Amino acid sequence: MTVLQQARERGRGVGAFNVILLEHAEAIVAGAEAAGLPVILQISQNCVQYHGALEPILAGTLAVARNSQVPAVVHLDHADDEALVRRALELGVHSVMFDASHDSYEVNVRRTSAVAELCHSAGIPLEAELGKVGVKHGVHAPGVRTDPAEAKAFVEATGADSLAVAVGSSQAMTERTAVLDLDLIAALAQAVPVPLVLHGSSGVSDEQLAGAVRAGLVKVNISTHLNGLFTRAVRRTLAADERVVDPRKYIVPGRIAVADEVERLLRLLAPPKRGRSATQP
């Protein structure tokens, strides 16, 4: 049973945090170990483009995950290139998110089904995405919503193991002001037989995130929020001492800031049940 399936059965959420530098992977795992909870480390297609190749950042992240004291899943995020998915599978990625949500529904089903078959043949779960087609910023633009009946049909048609849905979040937000449709989340959780995923969670408040998990969301993706904390910590360190030139001196505060927030968010998303230890995943 996957980390997401276990969390869904227990009514808990799992934090999924984006890796850009190797220091992100180290910080995310440090936060997860402090919380005693499983975590997902995501490498996006944009991150691969930044590094110029998948293998170096994936190999380093997989090594960090292997040494983790808690379950740490390494996930290819927002891939819309089938060749990149195949390469990630060859290199040992633990799960894949394939995004054909900008295509028509029929094309999305066809492409996602083919990638699901590819992933399943390698024993790897697939996350897919469904919302409303034709929006400038895709599924996670403001006002876009996923229809529960269509989501159920989509999962049945594609064989996706988890589904990213549009319920009010928007990607790359720098303020936590998004308002989620909790009633829609509950309806989707009732209709769809696989774990639900929230993208664009950086713009969602603690209260809304906790409510979304109670309503049935499982995987919660957070990137921009952590990047802001990392960058502000680095800026403070450099501003405090202009003589600092060793990157380790200013990267470490950024890494600590991310680790602390990952620990806090994981605890928020997976509160301990009565009678359970706070560190039991």
What does DSSP say about strands 95-98 and 217-222: parallel, antiparallel, or unpaired?
Answer: unpaired
User: Tens digit of pLDDT for each residue in 212-258?
Assistant: 999 999 999 999 899 999 999 999 999 999 999 999 999 999 999 99
Check if the beta carbon of residue 13 is closer than 8 Å to that of residue 209: yes
DSSP assignment of 27-75: HHHHHHHHHT--EEEEEEHHHHHHHTSSHHHHHHHHHHHHT-SS-EEEE
User: Tens digit of pLDDT for each residue in 164-182?
Assistant: 998 876 554 445 556 788 9
Q: Kind and range of the H or E element at 115?
A: helix 105-121
Residue whose pair of structure tokens reads 């094309």 in the numeric block:
107
Check if the beta carbon of residue 196 is closer than 8 Å to that of residue 155: no
Residue 55 tokens, joined: 């293998």
Which of 77, 99, 147, 181 is an active site residue? 77
Does pLDDT of 98 surpass 70?
Answer: yes
Domains contained in the chain, CATH given? 3-269 (3.20.20.70)
User: Tens digit of pLDDT for each residue in 119-129?
Assistant: 999 999 999 99
Indicate if 77 belongs to the active site.
yes
